[in-house]
Amino acid sequence: MLDELYSLPANARHDFEADGFVHLSEVLDGRTVAEYEPAVTDKVIELNTTHLPMSERTTYQKAFLQVTNLWRHSEAVRELVFSRRLAAIAAGLLGVDGVRLYHDQALYKEAGGGLTPWHADQYYWPLSTDRSITVWIPLQETPLEMGPLAFARGSHRFSFGRDLSISDESETALRAALAEQNFPLVEEPFAVGDVSYHLGWTFHRASPNGTSTPRRVMTIIYIDADITVAEPVNENQRIDREAWFGDTPVGQVPDTELTPILYRR
């Protein structure tokens, strides 16, 4: 199934450009999710470095266990991350000929895990355009009480807060600013096989996990296959540039071992 192309609903591209995100149903089937969830979970357990009691963690640490580039540690996870099906959806929504991998991230919100503050991902990324997109793949049914990803509809065009890292400060400032500008909050449960895609500048958050079960999520970040590296504007972007783009000069396409093309029309 991971290699079979998915037929985007007729309005998906329009909704994505208007809203900054889209929630798609039945992108994967239950069998596929069940097959890959153990591989992702095993690597999260193996590679996770956060072991503090919840009471001693920062807001960021309470939000989720974060493990990056699992595809380099597991052939099974690589199959999921390199899925032609998921990458083709990303290219279609972005309106580009192809996409390359930026990186993957497992985001596991433990039972009792805290909120994920309002933020926009592209704050961290030294990219020349907004053609970046993340697929959020729940590895179980995700009801509201488990803390599914939530979006501020249309906020990808809102410039306030783009200089804020994910933090208590971003939660406080953006909660007020987004409400003042009347950006609707879209917070929906996810069935098994549902995924969402969001632009790098779309503001999003997640509520705490109020259940006794971890919220297991895999994400894959794609960038336009022809995007170029931008001069970093903060320390986080400098770190990301060194980690993912190596010695790729500013203004050049980051064609590195870590950022292969995953789909091209």
Q: State residue 192's pLDDT score.
A: 98
Q: State residue 165's pLDDT score.
A: 96
Q: Which residues of 208-232 are buried (b: 16+ CB within 10 A; e: fewer)?
A: bbebeebbbbbbbbbbbbbbbbeeb
H-helix or E-strand containing 19?
Answer: helix 12-19
Domain boundaries, the chain: 12-246
Q: State residue 77's pLDDT score.
A: 98
Q: State residue 64's pLDDT score.
A: 96
One-letter identity of residue 187: E
Tens of pLDDT along the chain (265 residues)?
Answer: 999 999 999 999 999 999 999 999 999 999 999 999 999 999 999 999 999 999 999 999 999 999 999 999 999 999 999 999 999 999 999 999 999 999 999 999 999 999 999 999 999 999 999 999 999 999 999 999 999 999 999 999 999 999 999 999 999 999 999 999 999 999 999 999 999 999 999 999 999 999 999 999 999 999 999 999 999 999 999 999 999 999 999 999 999 999 999 999 9
pTM for the full predicted model: 0.97
Q: Which residue has the tokens 């960038």?
A: 223
- Considering the four listed CATH numbers 2.40.160.20, 3.50.50.60, 3.30.1460.30, 2.60.120.620, the one that applies to the domain covering 12-246 is 2.60.120.620
H-helix or E-strand containing 175?
Answer: helix 168-180
